[in-house]
Amino acid sequence: MSDQIVIEGLRCLAHVGVSEEERRHRQRLLLDITVEMPLATAGRMNHVRATVDYAAAAMLAKRTAEGKPYRLVEAIAERVATALLKTFRVESVTIRIRKFSVPQAESVGVEITRRRS
């Protein structure tokens, strides 16, 4: 297993839901993002060019999640993973999304892992 960078609890407000009514209003989502990549060079160099800029990765994920309406959080997870893999030199990305609109559940969500091909 490679080293990991973790972004937890990225707050997003997205139009997401199966029905048009559900998509009409933005819903609160929490994204947890884990990227795998070697971090030894970054640790030795102490320079952001050798790692992933956390703020840039978080902003890209947030823009992707909030940028258009989605029917499924699965679709948001796929698009966020794809965007991060295309933008940063990482080996893999794990995206966990939690949604809070399901009655009688604290949250529901998905977790996916995608690897660079």
pLDDT for the residue 1: 57
In 3D space, the residue among 31, 23, 85 whose CA is nearest the CA of residue 58 turns out to be 31
What average pLDDT does the structure give for the chain?
95
Q: What is the mean pLDDT of residues 43-62?
A: 95
CATH no. for 4-115: 3.30.1130.10
In 3D space, the residue among 100, 107, 106, 111 whose CA is nearest the CA of residue 33 turns out to be 111
pLDDT for the residue 112: 98
The two three-digit tokens of residue 51, written as one number: 């790692």
Question: 86-97, pLDDT tens digit by residue?
Answer: 999 999 999 999
Please give the positions annotated as active site.
Answer: 99
- Give residue limits of the domains in the chain: 4-115
pLDDT for the residue 101: 87
pLDDT for the residue 19: 87
CA angle 61, 41, 57 (to 5 degrees): 5
pLDDT for the residue 8: 98
Share of the chain above pLDDT 70, in %: 99
Whole-angstrom distance, CA of residue 20 vs CA of residue 23: 5
